[in-house]
Structure 1
Amino acid sequence: ALESLDFKNSLEQFQKLVEKMIIQKTKERSGLYTEEDDEIDYDKFYKTTRALFGSAVKDHNIQAFFRKTVNNLDMPDWLEIFGCFTGESGGLLSQSKESMVFLVSEKKQITDSVVKRKDVIKGIVKVSHLDFTITASQKGVITIFNNQKILLWVSLYFLQDTAWITGCDFLPQLKYVVAVTESTVIVWDYKSEENKNNCYVIKPMKNCLLCVCTVTPSDHLAKDSILMGDDKGYVYLLTLTSDDFIMKQYKAEKESQFRVLDSENFNILKRKLHDDWVGRVKYISALKCFGSCSLDSLRSFVLDDIKRLEDNLPVREFSVPRGVNAFTYCGKAKVVVTGG
């Protein structure tokens, strides 16, 4: 709460600084301004902003904010001082013929030659402790990057069904990559030395899966849990152990890299939390809660203990006109932010 209060005070002082600068520059253009001891030039604006926000703001964002304010004599969105823009940036590189995976900055891009044209990236996950990034394309290519190079990739075009990938994440205890399609859960053992039989496909799933996330790992070294959301408003909890991929019966052809596991053999908890598609699920470890959002105007956002998926107790739900498309948690400000 103290950190949130400090940030609010800093923001109020910053807005007063900008307002005073706008008044000063307006008078200058009108020929009514007389020099004062506390005149706000760029050096003073820079030093004051740096003192208020510290290293959270970058030099080029301070310079851009100052220039925009002086040129337009209008208060820009304060988020721009942190490099967040509400409009489209004109400085982004135009897309090349290759499929663009993501932008590292406005001056550099990483391309994935494995992802074909007319395909799009549906999920990007940064695995910080292993120093790599996972991407999953809509048409079925999962790729692992490290130091701007492709380390490993697997193509899921060989699946008999034609469902598109809708999301991905990393299982930190089992050290597998997990992805969901419209009708299956895919678990990829990327560490396997052989290309054969290193992907597990859990199916069938009754409804269309739209999103997935990993629950904060427990102390159990051979168990991970994932949350999933579908097109009927259900949120699922699936716990996976190392035994699931050793002891379970599976079907696989000799030359296939996929082992098909029957979803009926797994204990999958589910609860209907929304009356529309579940757009996103996320476990917030700092709050020890999970969140899910939907375009449902009545039950737009749910934030509660993961145990609520096991019982029928009421959940904490919030109504937002036209629903919620996305949400995140800021630990420093201790707030949950939603976007419609």
Structure 2
Amino acid sequence: SYSTSHFLHEFTVMTREMFTEQMAAAVGHSTKEEFGELFDKVDLAQNGFIDWDKMASFMLLSFYEKDERMNSTVIPQWKNLRLLSPVHKDTIQNITYLKGSSCYLTASRNGLLGVWGENLKLQRTLQITTEEVKLKDLWVTTVVSLANVSKIAIAFTSKEICFYDLNSKQGFSCQYRLYGLQGTVLCMDYWYNPHDGNEAILTFGDISGQVQAIAFTTALISLFERPASSPEGEEATVTISWQELVSGYHKCCYTLKHKIHYKDWVKQVAYSSSLDAFISSTTSNINTLVLAWREKLKPHLTTTSFNIARGVNAFDFHSRLNLIATAGINHQVCLWNPYVTSKPAGVLQGHSAAIIAVQFITERKQLFSFSKDKVLRIWDIQHQLCIQRVAGSFPKSLEFQATLYFNEAHGRLFISFNNQLMVLEMKQETNRRFTSHGKAVTCVLYNSVFKQVRGKKNLSAVS
């Protein structure tokens, strides 16, 4: 406006009081207190007055620093997409990281496990078998790591979950076999208390719409009690029926469940310690996303349902932002407040096909989403904008089953296409900071009269 331009033209030397009054009159939009805070930022030497040169320098430096931060930290930089050694001949069901062994584990539908080092070189393969099912009929549905007790849990279509000990002398030996489940398990999640490893929860969802959980109370000692009639020896498998757990026979754990999804297949489950709730999802448009809350001193769960048009394929929860992201079959990523079911807190639009997976980049406050047409998008959560689109580099197969796993600590995004395993790795970022000089500073002097620090950069004449 004319008044603002006239004010800046007349700006010479001003005290704090003069600055706040004239800025409020000429610019408006803010209070005198806010303009006073601006004055204090410009007047770093606390002289009690500022001039146009100080004001202009402050504004230019602020804009420059903001631009530097935006350019250097917002958009991830990736190395070329890598295809890892072809190991699996069947569809890859899971990719996970084993903290204790510092390696990655891939599991395919036929029970073949691939163990990969941190250098992404294949270390070994293992064929999982069970005594009850012939190898040709074996079908693994999902795998989860039990990091605090150095075990993995594997679910099969035979309605059983087997727990394998990673520290066994004979490789991955089956320590416990849980059988007699009411439906085939499709997904699992494991949580343990970082402050007390004895407290842990294994959550799983099945094809009958049930979400069930086993809450362990002495996980570090034993997941389940060993019956007196069980075979002796560390390598002997303890066989446990689901009814035993439900009846309370095993004092070191107890079970929880709900059937809110009715007969819809449960596609994903998770337990959130910050919400103290179980989260589950289906592809149905009714009870699509369900939160089940544990009540103190009560055995049952209280549920809250989100109805999402056409259902979702997956979800992820960011505890610090308190947001649930859903991968919509309707091509939308929705951000939900766990306590508001009526409408999403944000809708991220841009995909042209059903979204298969979503996952937060926790520290960056960003989000991955991957769609059925093989387009990977990265979103800025705060501004709800797509900041990066990756496409055209993935396999050209028309029909595929994909699994995503992001290891944030290592900056690696694994994507499986049927039996192929690929990885996108972030480039290491240099910590770029705003600097006052273009070359190394060799001398610094302090002027007590003007309360200023002056630096001298390294010139060719200075040795």
**TM-score category of the 2 structures, normalised to the smaller one:** 0.5 to 0.7
- Please show how residues 125-204 of structure 1 align to structure 2 within 5 Å: 125-128=96-99, 130-147=101-118, 148-151=120-123, 153-161=125-133, 162-182=137-157, 183-195=159-171, 197-204=173-180
CA distance in 1, matches of 2:281, 2:190: 16
Contact 2:99 2:147 in 1 (8 A): no
Q: How does 1:20-35 map to 2 (within 5 A)?
A: none
Q: Distance in 1 between matches of 2:82 and 2:148?
A: 33
Partner secondary structure for residue 194 of structure 1: coil
1:173 positional shift: 2.2
State the partner residue of 2:209.
233
The structure that has the greater radius of gyration is 2
What CA distance in whole angstroms lies between the structure 2 residues aligned with 1:215 and 1:270?
16
Q: Secondary structure at the match of 1:278?
A: coil
Q: Which residue of 2 aligns with 1:11?
A: none
Aligned to 1:120: 91
SS of the equivalent of 1:173 reads helix
Aligned position for 1:297: 285
Paired residue for 1:272? 259
More displaced 10-residue stretch of structure 1: 325-334 or 202-211: 325-334
Contact 2:129 2:138 in 1 (8 A): no
Measured after TM superposition, the shift of residue 214 of structure 1 is: 0.3
Q: Report the alpha carbon displacement of residue 329 of structure 1 after superposing the two structures with TM.
A: 1.9
CA pair 246-142 structure 1, distance change in 2 beyond 3 A:
farther
Cross-structure match for 2:240: 261
Distance 1:128 1:167, change over 3 A: same
CA drift at 1:325 = 1.4
In 2: Cα distance, 1:55 partner to 1:160 partner: 53
Q: Provide the rounded CA distance (Å) in 2 between the counterparts of 1:211 and 1:124.
A: 13
Q: Describe the shift of the 1:59–1:144 C-alpha distance in structure 2 as closer, same or farther (beyond 3 A).
A: closer
Which residue identity is paired with 2:192? T
The answer for unaligned runs of 5 or more in structure 1 is: 1-45, 61-104
Q: Looking at secondary structure, tell me which structure has more strand per residue.
A: 2
> Take 2:229 and 2:67, find their aligned partners in 1: how far apart are those partners?
60
Any stretches of 5+ residues in structure 2 without a counterpart?
A: 1-63, 247-254, 329-463
C-alpha contact (below 8 Å) 1:203/1:263 kept by paired residues: yes
Shift in Å at residue 199 of structure 1? 4.1
Give the CA RMSD over aligned residues: 3.4
Q: Which has the higher helix share?
A: 1
| Cα 1:126/1:323, change in 2 over 3 Å | same
1:285 correspondence with 2:273 = yes
What is the number of equivalent residue pairs in this alignment? 247
Question: Partner of 2:460 in structure 1?
Answer: none
Distance 2:125 2:289 in 1: 35
The whole-number CA distance in structure 1 between the counterparts of 2:276 and 2:321 is: 17
Distance 1:288 1:54 in 2: 37
